[in-house]
Amino acid sequence: MPSSKLSQLAETLIGSEIVKLGADIKAKMAQGNKIYNFTIGDFDSSIFPIPQQLENEIVEAYKTNHTTYPPADGILELRNAVAEFIQKREGLSFANDEILIAAGGRPLIYAAYRAIVDKGEKVVYAVPSWNNNHYVHFTEGEHVLIESKKENNFMPTAEEIKPYLKGTSLLALCSPLNPTGTTFTKEELEDICDLVIAENEQRDDDEKKLYLLYDQIYWTLTYGKTAHYNPVSLRPKMKEFTIFIDGISKAFAATGVRVGWAMGPANLINKMKAINSHVGSWAPMAEQKATAKYLLQTEEVDNYFAIFKSEIEERLQRIYAGFQQLKAQGFSIDAISPQAAIYLTIQIDLVGKTTAEGKKLTDQTEVTEYLLNEAKLAIVPFSAFGASAKSTWYRLSVGTCKKEEIDEMIEKLKNSLIKLT
């Protein structure tokens, strides 16, 4: 029988842990089980549709036959619209040759890794975080993990990052962070930027610089007194070394529309464009045309944000309040107050407990299975985002949450906890 062996990359690549969990959930739902599914970092479009005006612009773009290949770096109208949108709302100035359009954030992150990281070079990133472990694997870089802590809202600190920057090619950060929905403080991000600037000033002119990948795809979704900060506004010199990842996927519940953008130094953007052109990861022409028009409709965008954000925040706050009530009742439950994105960071610490059937929960995998089977609650453990398998923390996503099911979900969880001894 011929060998089925494939490339070293293919043989060692780890599949998505979240996709695997999703398959288990779908199987249970197919058996007639009602599952409170808070796993997916996406939206139920019947609850959170894209803006009506954006939809209208997409339909119109198809009707007027915008169905050809777009330019490799994205149509000029969209790059100009992104520049104006970002200038108006974040105070950041980027020329259109410093902006790259692609089919969402993923191909842009991949292109940034490919353009910066050579085999064996160090990439510093915190865990939990989304997919950095897989992108480092793609580029055969050296993983330098920082396991972030609850007391810092699971955001990495300058003190934690500092020992690892010498010789590093890429520092990968995300704020608001997937999976935690937490953000950098102004002071902490300033300190991190100062470290990057100092490190680059020590490097020779012919030496590769330390780049900062700053994923801010959730930056528009902040709540209460939470403010979003970015490296370049805080430290303008960071513009030489920062590559932003952004887009419409989360801001407008438009994950399937596939329009994202990167912003950064023109020479790096140009290399990323070349990589993406070979992969063919451009956003569709019609969606680019539509997004270019929609982003500049300031009143429409503001009205959408007002409703969209309030609906997400209500869900996060209600679930957070429910978890705090369970904690107050003595259950091994905790949660971090919601700050941003569509995620709530929750803790369910049940290892060592025994079920009503006499089965002892020996590890976090069994805890996750118990929650799914007994509470019908589907959430993603931080271990799926690179954290330790022993972590008792989870991501809870509200993008598909029906408000009328929140109280019954909390009650179902409480009943499952009562059964444990």
State which of 297, 312, 333 marks the end of a domain. Answer: 297
pLDDT digits (tens, 9 = 90+) for 158-181: 999 999 999 999 999 999 999 999
Within a domain: 113:
yes
pLDDT at 33: 85
Within a domain: 3:
no
Structural domains counted in the chain:
2
Average pLDDT score over the chain: 96
Please check whether residues 93 and 114 belong to one and the same domain.
yes
State which of 230, 262, 297 marks the end of a domain. Answer: 297
Which domain CATH number covers 157?
A: 3.40.640.10
pLDDT digits (tens, 9 = 90+) for 241-280: 999 999 999 999 999 999 999 999 999 999 999 999 999 9
Please check whether residues 108 and 188 belong to one and the same domain.
yes
Please check whether residues 252 and 113 belong to one and the same domain.
yes
**Mean pLDDT of all residues in 109-115:** 98
Within a domain: 174:
yes
Q: How far apart are the first and last CA of the chain?
A: 53
C-alpha span between 12 and 20 (Å, rounded): 17
311 has pLDDT over 90: yes
C-alpha span between 368 and 21 (Å, rounded): 10
pLDDT digits (tens, 9 = 90+) for 176-222: 999 999 999 999 999 999 999 999 999 998 899 999 999 999 999 99
State which of 297, 326, 358 marks the end of a domain. Answer: 297
Please check whether residues 249 and 370 belong to one and the same domain.
no
Within a domain: 1:
no
Please check whether residues 101 and 191 belong to one and the same domain.
yes
What value, to the nearest 5°, has the Cα angle with vertex 190 and ends 189 and 194?
Answer: 115
Any idea which residue has 């079920």 for tokens? 355
Please check whether residues 76 and 198 belong to one and the same domain.
yes
Please check whether residues 81 and 102 belong to one and the same domain.
yes
pLDDT at 364: 95
Structural domain harbouring 148: 52-297
pLDDT at 20: 74
- What is the identity of the amino acid at 88? K
**Mean pLDDT of all residues in 392-402:** 97
Within a domain: 319:
yes
pLDDT at 2: 67
Which domain CATH number covers 342?
A: 3.90.1150.10
